[in-house]
Structure 1
Amino acid sequence: MNKRTVFIGYGIALLAAVAVSVTLLNEDQSAHVALASTEQSAPVDAVARLGDQYIEGRELRTLLATLPEAARQQLRDNRPALDEWLRSRLAEKRLLEQANAQGWTSRPEIQEMIRSATEQIVLRTYIDSVSQVPDDYPGEEDLRAVYEANKANWVTPAMFHVSQIFLAIDGRQSLDTLRKQAFELAKRAQDGKTDFAELAAKHSQDRESAQRGGDIGRRHLEQLLPEVRPVLARLEVGAVSEPVQSATGFHILKLTDLQPSRTATLDEVRMQLQTKLRLHARSRSPKPIWRGWSTRCS
């Protein structure tokens, strides 16, 4: 038989690794059997073969590991793509065989390229190895020491749970009229006879918060308008403020809840601390010796 047959074998390890089966039989089974009886047998774990060239399971796994995750996923999900990829790899191996037969790797310029590439691989892998941070770093003792030394950085500001009635300055009413309306609403909210949420739902012109009875949620003071910060800081929980004028309108504020400033616990900042300490440790690992060198030609 003169035609070349491409044979793809199956291995349990390969099936587990790529979750697909590959078949590249281009001729009938009898032709394959005849050819297989005259050619050198492939290793037991060979997963692809072209003539006397083959790809072993471990080689395929190594090749797949060098690919980006997106490319690996595409091969797992796309059987034709995996077939084509294996064909291409077998063709490359055949070309390499031809190049070696012609003594290509013995050419001086090729030898120099091989030497240079080898040096770069050795350097890169060595630098990666010495810059690795141990998996168990930082330990509990290190974490606690850094946490205690930097406690001031873990202080969380007070959280104010605020509701408002907002009257916008939009030019449709005079400022005096709008101010008078704001004070009237504030007085009704302060006397307790009318529920603040009802007043907000009916009169507030911030429609989003009005739908929630004026509730604007929990905020740090720094997240609020400068004009309202000192007013809220003086309010007691449950109290309603006098109208506060800002550039956009009048705000009648109710402090519905207050979470005082506190220091975050170690457990709350543990992940953040671990990440920072590991990055810091890696940045202090040995650097390539040529970094920092200066050269001068005279």
Structure 2
Amino acid sequence: MEEEQGMWALPSPLGPEGDTLLALPLSTSTWAIQGMLWARGRAAGELYSFNNAAEMPYQLTVDTLPPTLQLWWHEGGRLVPLRSGMTISRQPELWLLLSDASSGPVRVPVLRLWIEGRLMDSTTAVQYRVYPSTELDALPAVLRQPGVRSALFCQPSRLPLGRVIVWATGEDAAGLRDTLQLELTVTDGLALRLLRQYPNPTSGGMSLEFAYDGYTIQELARVEIFSSLGQRLYAEEFPVTVGQNRWDWRGHTREGVPVSPGVYFWRLWLPRLSPTVGGIAGTVTIVP
């Protein structure tokens, strides 16, 4: 179908009984939300006589749902969604996603990311790339979610240690916007920090309360109990997560036998590191 002198020329023949259903590519950017649509037509070859005319109401469908933003982090060989309070490394690989329920295209660029008030772009980041809707197949599989319309990849320069504020905005084709603000902790490595050991002395077991300060979401920890002669009496591995953790010992050996009164040494560390790097240690006194 081609437009001729401001009118649309219909294909010929029209089909059974002269009826046809037309889909006209009309731009509605300047239309009112509702109104009347007037249509008329003429047969091919006729200049002035119109054989059909119609007047019909129309109602535009308006996108009123704002988009949603997600920030993901490439951590330890996997992608995880970030939320406030989490810990990241000093030079993280970040993915910002914009999801929208509408099926229309998304203007580019629509995504912006700030870290500590500094706008991330190709001049301020080590790596930076915007993925429009036509390039989403290049995203990692876990990020190719239904409704994702645009994405931004960014690897900033080395971030300062401690608390940082990450701010992001995204705008869809209708001009609707979503914002995202996260407070994250930047650390230089993996470490355990003893908060409390109790009771000590003890007539039975003890508890260790400790914090895991690391840029991974979860790590495997190992705890060992030694006698004063250096004999390992107990060992256990268990997962720890960022923040406060707790481990309880019942005062038994690996075989479940209660230990005798005396002084015992314990150490808690991360197997991916050595016991002397990022680990904690202490003593516990068992009394009758």
Q: Which protein has the bigger strand share? A: 2
Does the TM-score normalized on the shorter chain lie above 0.5? no
Bigger relative contact order (CA 8 A; separation at least 6): 1
**What TM-score do you get using the length of structure 2 for normalisation?**
0.22
**Which entry has the higher C-alpha Rg, 1 or 2?**
1
**What TM-score do you get using the length of structure 1 for normalisation?**
0.21
